[in-house]
Homo-oligomer: A and B are copies of this chain.
Amino acid sequence: MSALKYQFNNDYSELAHPQVLAALSAVGYSQFEGYGLDEYCLKAIDLIREKTAMPTADVHFASGGTHANLIVLAASLRPFEAVIATTLGHINTHETGAIEATGHKICPVAEKDGKLTAGDIQAIVDYHEGEHMVKPRAVYISQSTELGSVYNRAELTALHECCKANGLYLYADGARLGAAINSQWCDLSYADFANLVDAFYIGGTKNGAIYGEAIVIINDEIKPAFRYYLKQHGALLAKSAGMGIQFTALFTEGLYDDLARHANSMGARLAAGITGLGYELLSPIQTNQVFPILPASIVEQLHKIYGFHDWESYGETAAIRLVASWATKEEKIDQFLEDLAALS
C-alpha cells in the first residue's frame, strides 16, 4: 500500500482513534466478567441508552456488521418470513448470502439514491399473499446508505408508518450511523431515529473503533432470547470488555460524533473540490462517501496514486467511490484534489 499517496477505499483503513486505544491500555490486569456482562459493557450500554433516550432498549455487542445484521434478522424472522431491502442493500449484495444462509429470503427493490420508499415496501407486501410465498416481515435500510445518502425525518417516518401498518419490523444497518446523524441533510437526533425503528446497530468499526458494533433493540418482541442468537452464531465474545471499553470511550465526551463530523466534513471538502473541477456526482453528497463520475482515462491514472473502488463503468466515463474517514487529514484531501486537477 506504500506506493499510494492515500487510500480512500473505505473508512476502516486506520486502526483506531488514540483515545480508544488508550482506554484499552488503561485497564491493566483488572478482572472482568465475560460475555457482555462486564462493567465496561454495562457502562457502554448506559451511555447508549442515554444517547438514544431509550432507557429500556436492549444493547448487545458484535464484532462486525455482517454478524450484527444476520443475528438481528435471525432473531426477528421465523423461517418463512422475509426481509425487504434495496438491490444495493449490503445484506443483498455484499454479505455472501448471510441472510439466506440463516434461511431467509431477501425481497429486493430497486433503490433511488440508495433509498427505499414506503411505496416500494407496500408493493412488495401487496404482492405476497398466502403460504405459497414468503411473508415479508422486516425491512432493512442502511443509514447512511450504500450511496452515502441519508433518510431524513419525513422519509424515515413514512417508512416507520408503512411498517407499522403492515406488521413489519424496521431494521437499520448503522455501520455509518454517526455519519448519518451528523449529516446536515439529516434532521434526526439519535433519539428521533431510535424512536422510528425497531432495531439498529451503531457502527464502531467505521468510526474509530478497532472492532465492534452496538446492536440496539427497541421493539420488545425482538428482545427475548437475543443472547442465545448471539452465542449460537459465535458473536458472544468471552472478552466482551474489549467492546465495552471502546464504546465507552466513543460515547464519553462526544468522541463518536466528533469523528463522524470530521469524516463528513472531509467528504464535503472532497465533493466540493471535485464538482468545482466540473465533474458530476452519481449521488448527492450527504456524508463521507463521494461518488464522482470521471473520464475513464483519469480514473486509470488516479489508481496509480490513490486507493479507491471502481463503482460503475459507463464506457468513456466511470463512477468511483471515495470514502473519507474519521482519520483522513485535510491535507490528503487537498493533495487529491490537486492531483485530480493536474490530471484534468
**Chain A contact residues, CB within 8 Å of chain B:** 1, 6-7, 9-10, 12-16, 18, 21-22, 24-25, 27-35, 39, 62-71, 74, 78-80, 82, 93-98, 100-106, 108, 131-135, 205-206, 210-211, 225, 227-239, 241-242, 245, 307, 327
Contacts and interface: CB of A to CB of B under 8 A. Distances in A.
Given A80-B96, A80-B229, A233-B234, 8 more contacts: A1-B32, A9-B34, A16-B242, A18-B25, A95-B132, A100-B105, A132-B236, A211-B211
B79 A232 contact: yes
Contact of A12 (B65, B102, B238): B238
Contact of A27 (B15, B227, B230, B238): B15
Given A64-B237, A79-B232, A94 B133 contact: yes
Given A62-B234, A64-B234, A225 B78 contact: yes
A289 B214 CA distance: 33
Contacts of A66: 231, 234, 236
Contact of A33 (B1, B93, B227): B1
13 contacts: A14-B30, A63-B211, A66-B234, A71-B234, A79-B102, A97-B104, A97-B134, A100-B104, A100-B105, A103-B103, A211-B211, A211-B239, A233-B233
A266 to B, nearest CB: 14
A29 B39 CA distance: 29
B29 A96 contact: no
A129 to B, nearest CB: 11
